[in-house]
Amino acid sequence: MKYIIFKVLTKVLKISKIMKEFKKLKDIIMIDVNSIKNGMTLQIEGNIYQVVDFLHVKPGKGSAFMKMKIKNLRNGTTLERTFNTNIKFEEARIDRTTVQYLYKDGDTYCFMDMETFDQIELREEQVADKKDYLLENMNVEITRFGNELLGLSLPEKMEFTVVSTEPAVKGGTQTNASKDAYTETGLLVKVPMFINQGEKIIVTTEDGKYYSRA
């Protein structure tokens, strides 16, 4: 009797495993290279990329191809690749969770899930170069690929206060010269000569460059 029960349970477990694998295969979405759009996330050669830009090229001779600018969501590097138009990519399903930045405790950054109110702690190396953009009580997105944490997603542009810089120079609007300025988070930004300490500025988070006065 015990042997029969063991055989039945073994068969049930095998069926369950097969069904899980089948579900994984069923959930896989393949994307034709001709259907690519900016912002799509793809699995390419074992890495996770987001499409930054693309261009269909149809030369006078030879086959058409696609030039793509893609960003590695694991390490932040951007590269350009060329692909034949008959290639398909597996979609990378990215989960995004809106969280509020609370505070820093040593090397730990504490956030709160805005839906569940659970507290989430990230190590400094997980926050990486985003740390100097974090303002207390601001909302950001935590991005995950399955159980893998990819990092933080910031707003495209953010407002900061200049807390330290050299005094403004008269006539500074007439020149392209710049100077160093530090924000309240410690972010170093190259700003025009006319910017004063205490002014609010807009910074693009993709490259950390000065955009305008706030």
Residues 58, 84 within the same domain: yes
Look at the block and give the residue holding tokens 């930054």. Answer: 52
In a domain, 5, yes or no: no
For the record, the structure tokens of 185 come out as: 């988070």
Span of 30-34, 131-135, 149-153 with lowest mean pLDDT: 30-34
Q: Provide the CATH number for the domain around residue 171.
A: 2.40.50.140
Q: Give 135-184 as a DSSP string.
A: -TT-EEEEEEETTEEEEEE--SEEEEEEEEEPPP-TTGGGS--EEEEEET
Q: Is residue 65 part of a domain?
A: yes
Q: What is the pTM of this model?
A: 0.69
Pick from 10-24, 51-65, 121-135, 152-166: least confident? 10-24
End-of-domain residue from the set 153, 179, 204: 153
> Could you read off the pLDDT of 119-133 as tens digits, one per residue?
999 988 888 889 999
Q: Cα–Cα–Cα angle for 44, 50, 53, nearest 5°?
A: 110
Beta bridge partners of 81: 68
Query: Which of 112, 132, 153 represents a domain boundary (last residue)?
Result: 153
CATH number at residue 71: 2.30.30.30
Interatomic CA distance for residues 139 and 154, integer angstroms:
8
Rg of the chain on CA atoms, in Å: 24
Q: In angstroms, rounded to a whole number, what is the distance separating the alpha carbons of residues 34 and 42?
A: 14
The whole domain housing 174 covers: 157-213
- Are 165 and 144 members of one domain? no
Q: How many residues does the chain have?
A: 214
Q: Is residue 67 part of a domain?
A: yes
Q: How far apart are CA 103 and CA 119, in angstroms?
A: 11
198 and 181, same domain (yes or no): yes
Count of domains forming the chain = 3
